[in-house]
């Protein structure tokens, strides 16, 4: 059989993703070549390229799938239709950090233990999917009056939600509290502050978040 002839058992996205992620977790790095990944699966390279254009695309597709699953899970909840924009963002962030426990080793290897979220293509793709979701929340908040319209200032709301998402993930990756309870508190206080800023109340929630963060800042000083 010619080496370029597809194998009898065609490659599937799931098989390729699973092999990619397994090697990443075991070796601490993504697969080094498409050829070696195909060898481990017993498939021809053309089977791989029928599903993905590159190795990078495998992880991008997988992370977007994780985000899609989290969004689908919260949107299918029985109370979703009654939730305010603030409650929807809270539900999403709690669900995402819970789902992240299944992939924490990957998140740590990909994004690091400290500092801001690194600018990697895989994260950018996931973040892009989050931004689509965030826009729907902003739209709902504007329609109900929960989020105030402030002319040009309103244009930064989407970026503010993206930064909120980044800060929650970064905080969670550094959190060593039992059951990640400090992450839960950080989510609640950060969402309260941001939605108060986009609404009409800010001082009380701002001071509350500062009091929460200050002890940790002093410990690191």
In a domain, 27, yes or no: yes
Q: Closest by alpha carbon to 53, among 61, 63, 43, 42?
A: 61
**Which residues of the chain are under the pLDDT cut of 70?**
1-11, 112-119, 153, 200-221
Domain that holds residue 148: 81-220
The domain tally of the chain equals: 2
Considering only CA atoms, which of 50, 51, 43 is closest in space to residue 17? Answer: 51
Same domain as 98, residue 46: no
Same domain, 158 and 93: yes
Q: What is the pLDDT of residue 5?
A: 43
Mark whether 136 and 206 lie in a shared domain. yes
Residue 2 lies in a domain: no
φ/ψ (deg, to 5) at 39 = -60, -45
129 and 207 co-located in one domain: yes
pLDDT at residue 117 in the model: 58
Task: Looking at the structure, tell me whether residues 104 and 185 fall in a common domain.
Answer: yes
Distance CA 93, CA 185 (A): 12
Do 17 and 122 share a domain, yes or no?
no
Report pLDDT for 172.
Answer: 92
User: Does residue 158 form part of some domain?
Assistant: yes
Does residue 206 lie in a domain region? yes
Indicate whether 203 and 121 sit together in one domain.
yes
Task: Let me know if residue 134 belongs to a domain.
Answer: yes
Residue 30 lies in a domain: yes
The pTM of this model reads 0.81
How open is the CA angle 180-137-73, to the nearest 5 degrees? 55
Q: Report which of 114, 134, 133, 112 is spatially closest to residue 123, judged by C-alpha positions.
A: 112
Q: Same structural domain for residues 139 and 86?
A: yes
Please report the pLDDT score of residue 127 as a whole number.
87
Question: For residue 69, is it within any domain?
Answer: no
């Amino acid at each position: 059989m010619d080496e370029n002839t597809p194998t009898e058992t065609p490659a599937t996205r799931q098989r390729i993703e699973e092999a990619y992620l397994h090697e990443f977790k075991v070796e601490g790095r993504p697969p080094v070549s498409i050829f070696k990944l195909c060898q481990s699966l017993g498939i021809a390279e053309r089977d791989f390229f029928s599903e993905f254009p590159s190795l990078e695309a495998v992880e991008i597709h997988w992370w977007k799938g994780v985000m899609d699953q989290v969004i689908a899970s919260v949107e299918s909840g029985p109370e979703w239709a009654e939730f305010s924009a603030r409650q929807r963002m809270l539900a999403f962030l709690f669900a995402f950090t819970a789902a992240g426990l299944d992939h924490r080793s990957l998140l740590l290897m990909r994004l690091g233990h400290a500092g801001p979220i690194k600018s990697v293509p895989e994260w950018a793709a996931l973040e892009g999917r989050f931004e689509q979701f965030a826009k729907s929340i902003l739209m709902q908040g504007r329609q109900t009056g929960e989020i105030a319209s402030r002319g040009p200032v309103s244009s930064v709301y989407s970026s503010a939600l993206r930064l909120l998402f980044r800060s929650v993930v970064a905080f969670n990756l550094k959190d060593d509290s039992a059951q990640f309870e400090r992450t839960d508190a950080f989510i609640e206080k950060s969402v309260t502050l941001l939605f108060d800023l986009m609404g009409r109340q800010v001082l009380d929630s701002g001071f509350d978040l500062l009091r929460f963060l200050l002890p940790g800042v002093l410990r690191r000083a």
